[in-house]
A and B are shown apart, each in its own frame.
Chain A
Amino acid sequence: MFDGREIAQFPEASVRALGDENLQAALRLLGEGFQARRTDAVERFSEFEDARDAAVDAKTRTLRQLHLHLENFEARCQEQGGVVHWAETPADARQIVLELLTSRGVRVLSKGKTMVAEEIGLNGFLEEHDIEVVETDLGEYIIQLAEEVPSHIIAPAIHKTMPQVVELFRQHHDQHKAEPFPRHTPADLVAEARAVLRRRFLEADAGLTGANFLVAETGSSVIVTNEGNGDLTQTLPRLHIVLATIEKVVPTLADGAAILRVLARSATGQDMSAYTTISTGPRRSTDVDGPSEYHVVLLDNGRSSLLGTPAEEVLRCIRCGACMNHCPVYGAVGGHAYGWVYPGPIGAALTPALLGVEAARHLPNASSLCGRCEEVCPMRIPLPKIFRYWRAKEHEARLNTVRARLALALWGWLAAHPRLYRLGTGAAMWILSQLAGRSRRYRNLVLANGWTRSRDFPAPAGRTFLNSWNRRS
């Protein structure tokens, strides 16, 4: 379970990640996997930029009047026989779920993929109360067997290689079976998980899913999946619980359509995920399946306080994972190094808001500000701008090192004195150029040994850009 303490270890954890051969082998697949598929999907869809604008507009309008849409959602949901619960904190949400389960004698809970459940540490909490939790998304199932946490928001087991999965399945499945499953290809492993999980869906007394969005006009929850596990989870048991955060609501189904047009393309590079399911209330009197109870837990956990701050744009996020799939830092260290539920650029922007700048201060610094995340974000969230906002907060709160503060103070003073700045940089560039020798690179450079420890520093041309520009005109 995530408790937030791991984030402080980001520098050490990322060094370990760089040396982890299995992890590096798994991460190398990002290029031909998620990245290439998204590129193809966007190229196939000439209206992609317009679709992005429409999706951004839908969420921006929603967030301006979030309270009204939440009240509408609640009213419509209740009209349809659903029950809405409000939770301010993770502890509140856990308690609500636990009470729903224990008061109905639930012993086995099947679960679709939900990052909010990770955010509130639900699995561990329920297991302490003797409720068995069965993860049914294949990736979530793999990491549940491995007793790990997700390392990616849409591909939780992306850090695992196939031989690692084979080993996990051997450990956990073989004892129940005389003849081991064949395990030669990924297809074999998918078939094995399918066979093992089939019965568990039917055994569960309750099913818990997240929501990709909630629809105010109909009081519905919507999940977007590929495996079909979410649908079995919310159809077969007698109780369906939806766990969603407050910013997930949109006013209408048409707003939902705007989000759907960019979600799968940005996430998996599909034009449309296999299953997009709108659930509204419990089963009707004439229905022969579906849950007899439908509950929605709305969690705030700090999101309401984000509105009106420079970081509020993170609330547009639709959790597609494109930012992490394209981030050079995520691609090098993977998700676990970030130490909390949401890794990659969106995690670096969101975690300080949820856990505080002090706890999460390393994450907004885990970026070269290259801007690739913002470029691929379907909701046009200005992630680098938000990193800079958190970095400034870190500086204001004096949480960064004395060395960094001194360097920034010196830089700030120089930048405020342009003549001195030009003189200083001009002289430095000239000296560095003169001393570079014929190789035109430095193997070792005082004050920049952090750089030269792992690569050479190219020698400057001898003149600053401003110098060259002035001579030219």
Chain B
Amino acid sequence: MSAARERILGRLRDRLGEGSEESPHPSAAASARAGDVGVFCRRLEAAGATVERIPEDAVPQAVAQYLTQRNLAARVKVSPALEKLGWDAEPLLETAFGIADLDDAAAVVPAVLGVAETGSLVHVSAGDNPTTNHFLPDHAIAVVAEDAVCADLEAAFSAASDTAMPRTVCLITGPSRTGDIEQRIELGAHGPRSLHVLVTRK
């Protein structure tokens, strides 16, 4: 296929000239500007998520309460990155750590950043943070620290690509949705039907 490569690039060079690289737009220059947590929460709600602001050590309790309120079984798959949140404090909540499968109705997942501009959570794949957990279960409960909320997309991209790019960087803005039947918006097409976000403070 390198012949095709040479022909395509050759045609482009014929039309555009050799060219020298223009200084790239400064995506690296964007610092991780802190974002307004209130704006972040409002935008997330506007995108169809529910939001709760809680102390850092109250995550297991908030998860248990949420499942009860939604009339869901008290059973969650927790991404290993969140294993050390003190789940023993909720003995009635059944927790399993690891990668989600079709039997998991709800998962607790971490977001490494929030984006105030868009009300997005930023998921970055890692060994202890499988992408599957964000998409496969019916209900996603995401945990994000309020001091991890940055101002805008540029700041988020800059922070996410700071070290080597991970396999997956995903901006999640609300639950899964579709408008494919008569342009009516329905939640829960293939990803989570509901997205509950726990914004934690130290």
Contacts and interface: CB of A to CB of B under 8 A. Distances in A.
A162 interface: yes
A226 B176 contact: yes
Contacts of A229: 189-191
Contacts of A246: 8, 12
Contacts of A232: 135-136, 190-191
A136 B131 CA distance: 18
Contact of A289 (B26, B132, B166, B192): B132
Contact of B186 (A186, A201, A220): A186
A65 B167 contact: no
Given A165-B181, A190-B188, A288 B167 contact: no
Interface stretch (B51-59, B67-75, B119-127, B142-150): B119-127
A260 B90 CA distance: 41
A157 interface: yes
Contacts of A286: 126-127
Interface in A219-259: 219-220, 226-229, 231-232, 235-236, 246, 251-257
Among B43, B126, B170, B190, max chain A CB count under 10 A is at B190
Interface stretch (A172-180, A304-312, A418-426, A432-440): A304-312
A400 B119 CA distance: 52
Contact of A256 (B21, B118, B157): B157
A190 B174 CA distance: 17
Contact of B190 (A136, A142, A278, A282): A136
B43 A271 contact: yes
Given A58-B25, A186-B181, A220 B192 contact: no
Contacts of A33: 179, 183
Given A155-B179, A308-B15, A194 B132 contact: no
Contacts of A138: 178, 180-181, 189
A26 B7 CA distance: 44
A405 B169 CA distance: 56
Interface string A106-143: 00000000000000000000000000000011110010
A252 B27 contact: yes
Given A67-B9, A304-B8, A257 B181 contact: no
A87 interface: yes
Interface string B127-155: 10011101110000000000000001110
Interface in A27-69: 29-30, 33-34, 58, 61, 64-68
A218 interface: yes
A287 B46 CA distance: 33
B11 interface: yes
B33 interface: no
Contacts of B178: 138-139, 190, 226-227
A451 interface: no
A262 B4 CA distance: 33
Contacts of B154: 253-254, 257
Interface residues of A, number: 95
B135 A273 contact: no
A254 B25 contact: yes
Q: Is the interface of B mostly helix, strand, loop or mixed?
A: loop
B179 A268 contact: yes
A254 B157 contact: yes
Among B12, B15, B153, B192, max chain A CB count under 10 A is at B12
Given A26-B182, A274-B191, A279 B9 contact: no
Interface in A304-346: 304-305, 307-308
B60 interface: no
Among A85, A86, A282, A298, max chain B CB count under 10 A is at A86
A461 to B, nearest CB: 43
Interface in A165-210: 165, 186-187, 189-191, 193-194, 197-199, 201-202
A191 B171 CA distance: 24
B175 interface: yes
B47 A70 contact: no
Contact of A190 (B102, B153, B189): B189
A254 B180 CA distance: 30
Contacts of A75: none
Contact of B99 (A139, A142, A277, A289): A289
A378 to B, nearest CB: 16
B188 A198 contact: no
Given A138-B181, A186-B184, A235-B131, A88 B22 contact: no
Contact of A218 (B2, B7, B161): B161
B201 interface: no
Interface string A57-97: 01001001111101100000000100001111000100010
Contacts of B184: 186
Contacts of B183: 29-30, 33-34, 155, 158
Contacts of B47: 270-272, 274
A449 to B, nearest CB: 38
A227 B191 contact: yes
A375 interface: no
A88 B10 CA distance: 12
Contacts of B190: 136, 194, 197, 201, 227-229, 232
B12 A231 contact: no
B23 to A, nearest CB: 10
A365 interface: no
Interface in B1-39: 1-2, 4-5, 7-9, 11-13, 15-16, 19, 21-22, 24-27, 30
28 contacts: A34-B183, A64-B19, A65-B16, A71-B9, A85-B1, A88-B4, A138-B181, A161-B182, A199-B102, A218-B161, A218-B165, A232-B136, A246-B8, A251-B25, A252-B24, A252-B25, A254-B30, A271-B43, A274-B173, A274-B177, A283-B167, A284-B125, A284-B127, A288-B99, A288-B130, A289-B99, A304-B11, A307-B16
Nearest 5 CB-CB pairings of A with B? A228-B191, A254-B27, A33-B183, A227-B189, A286-B127
Interface of B: 1-2, 4-5, 7-9, 11-13, 15-16, 19, 21-22, 24-27, 30, 43, 46-47, 98-99, 102, 118-120, 125-127, 130-132, 134-136, 152-154, 157-158, 160-161, 165-184, 186, 188-192
